[in-house]
Structure 1
Amino acid sequence: MVVVLSTVQIVSWGVLYYAFAALQSSITADTGWSAVAVTGAFSTAQLVSGIVGVRVGRRLDDVGPRRVMTGASLLAIPEVLAVALAPTLAVFYVGWILTGAAMAGTLYPAAFAALTRWGGPRRVRALTTLTLVAGLASTVFAPLAALLDDALGWRQAYLVLLGGLVVVTVPLHWWGLAHPWRPVHHDDPGTRHGATAGAVARSAPFVLLAAANALTALAVFAVVINLVPMLVEQGMSRNLAALALGLGGVGQVVGRLGYARFAAATSVTARGVVVLAGVAVTTAALALAPASSGLLIMIGMALGLARGVYTLVQATAVTDRWGPASYGALNGLLTAPALVAAAAAPFAGAVLAELLGSWAHAFLALAGVAALAAVLMAYATPRAART
């Protein structure tokens, strides 16, 4: 199951997410649509993914990942086709809106739900492996999309990449995930402490956890998307700043490799607070550090490490507090506000920089957002799970 899900995550993230990053400028140049309008379509897809993900999470609990993820992969095929062949901006938006629905059933939340249930006591190792391997999606598909764009144009590049969904994800989801799945009845007490999924979702710790995740997503994605212009403002060349952004991915890998030991040595509350405090401190350090390229790259890698660990903190947040019984439904509710915040993050970062007069001041404000998230995380664990 880990091998199957890791493989389909690389392809799904590569085609549905990272290809856009490589093709965005070509789309704008070829169509004449503004960069804001083109980016807005992609951000809208993230919003739709968060909204639809709530329903998808409950469906995952009920019928398992095989039918849900296969259906979402099939749904993605005509949607990516619409994006690639869109004659107008309106059709382009429709394609991305529908692609957002497919994202909800193919990307991390669905895969996390599958491995959380099937992994049992080994789920942390399974989730760690998944995120490590799936992290290769940008390494593989961003340059592949760029090469296809150079050779064929962005529309044909999407059509070629679409073959990955047809040949890889659809058959692997259907035949590779044929494993027993026990349905969850959401009205029955099924969490670790006997509460129903609805009762958990209405509880103060869950609401605080969702708020902390949303604030973290806002801070992290605003920083990642706007890291290059911030470093250029600090005196770094654009190419070196891009390298610094890429090296942050190395930090993510290191963080995920060490997560199992970190989790074993910390409590549920402590690891969330420590990681979010790390995001806040490293974000502030980027803004306050002297204009030394080596130092800024090291801080960027440290921020990447915190981001890498946080991916797994978020993936295990529900099971660490309430058990795996209603993971799909609860994680869908937990992820939705974070996806909305992540979609708004690039624009929020740019607005902060304009209002505050510099990227450095914007990063300090984003560090404050992450610090607030750390405070909320300190109170986002039910009393019975604070061990």
Structure 2
Amino acid sequence: MSGETAVTQTHDPQSGALDAAGLRRAVAVLSTVQIVSWGVLYYAFAALQSSITADTGWSNVEVTGAFSLAQLCSGGAGIWVGRHIDAYGPRRVMTLASLVAIPGVAAVALAPNLAVFYLGWVLTGVAMAGTLYPPAFAALTHWGGTRRVRALTTLTLVAGLASTVFAPVASVLDDAIGWRAAYLMLLTGLVVVTVPLHWWGLGLPWHVDHVEHADGPTEDQRREQARARVGGVARSTPFVLLTLANALTGLAVFAVVINLVPMLVEQGMSRNLAAVALGLGGVGQVAGRLGYARFAAATSVTTRGVLVLAGVAVATAALALAPAAPALLIVLGMLLGLARGVYTLVHATAVTDRWGPASYGTLNGILSAPALVAAAVAPFAGAMLAKLLGSYANAFLVLAGVAGVAAVLMLGATPVDRRRGGPSAIRGDRR
């Protein structure tokens, strides 16, 4: 066994899965830190970016460029984070990432110039790689065993409320004390919640079989076999198509999320009401995740991927074409949130549904990296599309088309043996 064992828990020595009490603890800890991490590191920017540009005089492209750089840094660091978690568990890397986030957000809040602002987002991007969904998904996939889908669903249900809580709170703080003080106020959540919970809450056993047997492969041979398997999967056509579909979805979804407030303001909403609408999208995410288990049990891995991405495309197009009625736009935003919420779980289980749980952290890191790059480009791409096409509504139509292409790619993103298996995501591993 390797990894963190500060707290003794009964677990399966073959799979590394925790017992019920240990898994409940892991889910509670990770759910709590996810809502704070997403809220402070991601959704606060969506609510505060217009105030940043107005106060500093920096252009919208310059400000969103810094946020995009953070996503690039997150994607690059995420592959290493996944490999580290596979080998040693999440405790140390997630705690370190939480610590890195503190000077990162502080630099963003206190930046006297654009260079320091960018440096702050570089640190924040590195922190994102070790605090947001991918490392949490890797931890619960390992610890959850055959119960991982329920654990992942609970995690994303709670984290889905991050925008609901933090977007309006950030907007209110902005009005009361300004965007810089708002960021510093939100920063206390990282200090008080994420750092201690990651360190003291994730000291659970992380089982990796390093025992050598006379008639079995050595540790070095097992590592080489694992590398060969990862390489074979990563080079396969289904994995490549899945990665492309995931990247295009990331581009469409995050361009919409980051540009939703200015799009709604363009439609005549006040900034505060638009921030509330962004937050209510989180309610839609929670609703989607509540129904995921039944949805997954009734569909094949290919079918649910195609349906969810088609749903993202349709909801995005509906936002673009709808009349400027606040109530209708809010409802459509919640429907888009519902599709996004389901897609989060489709992505979280994409590797295990197709290739099983072995080397999940590494494979999911490779799968997620292009999507994070796309998410990095997304804020800039959405703003530029709106500028070139004359409105955010026209930009959203293009983004709907991007999500539609992703849905088509998803048709070929499943290995042949898993296509024939029918509904399987909820019925345990094929270990």
Output the TM-score relative to the length of structure 1: 0.90
The reply on whether 1:337 has 2:362 as its aligned counterpart is no
Native 8 Å contact 1:228 1:238 kept in 2? no
Q: Deviations over 1:27-79 (max 9, x none)?
A: 33443333332222122111110111111111111111011111111222232
Deviates more, 1:261-270 or 1:14-23: 14-23
The within-5 A match list for 1:292-371 is 295-371=328-404
* Match in the other structure for 1:141: 166
Q: Distance in 2 between matches of 1:297 and 1:107?
A: 26
Native 8 Å contact 2:164 2:281 kept in 1? no
1:110 corresponds to which of 101, 110, 135:
135
* Match in the other structure for 1:188: 225
Native 8 Å contact 2:46 2:261 kept in 1? no
Structure 1, unpaired ranges of 5+: none
Q: Distance in 1 between matches of 2:131 and 2:232?
A: 27
Q: Deviations over 1:241-291 (max 9, x none)?
A: 555444333222211100010001111111101111111222233334456
Native 8 Å contact 2:163 2:281 kept in 1? no
The reply on whether 1:10 has 2:35 as its aligned counterpart is yes
Q: Distance in 2 between matches of 1:86 and 1:350?
A: 23
2:316 corresponds to which of 280, 283, 286:
283
1:136 to partner: Cα distance: 2.3
The reply on whether 1:268 has 2:301 as its aligned counterpart is yes
Q: Distance in 1 between matches of 2:298 and 2:168?
A: 38
Native 8 Å contact 1:212 1:374 kept in 2? yes
1:225 to partner: Cα distance: 3.1
* Match in the other structure for 2:281: 248
Deviates more, 1:248-257 or 1:263-272: 248-257
* Match in the other structure for 1:213: 246
Q: Distance in 2 between matches of 1:284 and 1:18?
A: 23
Native 8 Å contact 2:89 2:139 kept in 1? yes
The reply on whether 1:164 has 2:189 as its aligned counterpart is yes
Q: Distance in 1 between matches of 2:347 and 2:161?
A: 20
Distance 1:87 1:377, change over 3 A: same
The reply on whether 1:72 has 2:97 as its aligned counterpart is yes
Native 8 Å contact 2:103 2:123 kept in 1? no
Deviates more, 1:171-180 or 1:207-216: 171-180
Native 8 Å contact 2:269 2:326 kept in 1? no
1:128 to partner: Cα distance: 1.1
Q: Distance in 1 between matches of 2:180 and 2:334?
A: 34
Distance 1:370 1:118, change over 3 A: same
Q: Deviations over 1:150-189 (max 9, x none)?
A: 5554444433333322222122111111111123865325
1:10 to partner: Cα distance: 1.7
* Match in the other structure for 1:131: 156
* Match in the other structure for 1:385: 418
1:54 corresponds to which of 79, 94, 97:
79
Native 8 Å contact 1:186 1:196 kept in 2? no
Native 8 Å contact 1:186 1:198 kept in 2? no
1:143 to partner: Cα distance: 3.8
Distance 1:102 1:265, change over 3 A: same
Distance 1:384 1:142, change over 3 A: same
Distance 1:164 1:224, change over 3 A: closer
Q: Deviations over 1:100-133 (max 9, x none)?
A: 1111001111111111111111111111111111
The AA in structure 1 aligned to 2:355 is W
1:92 to partner: Cα distance: 1.6
Name the one with the larger helix percent.
1
Native 8 Å contact 1:276 1:371 kept in 2? yes
1:90 to partner: Cα distance: 0.8
Distance 1:154 1:5, change over 3 A: same
* Match in the other structure for 1:121: 146
Report the RMSD for the aligned CA atoms in angstroms.
2.5
The AA in structure 2 aligned to 1:206 is F
Secondary structure of 1:187's counterpart equals helix
Q: Deviations over 1:181-225 (max 9, x none)?
A: 1238653259xxxx7112111111111101001111111222233
1:93 to partner: Cα distance: 0.9
Output the TM-score relative to the length of structure 2: 0.81
1:145 to partner: Cα distance: 3.6
Q: Distance in 2 between matches of 1:293 and 1:28?
A: 25
Deviates more, 1:11-20 or 1:283-292: 283-292
1:84 corresponds to which of 98, 106, 109:
109
Percentage of pairs with the same residue: 78
* Match in the other structure for 1:94: 119
The AA in structure 1 aligned to 2:224 is D
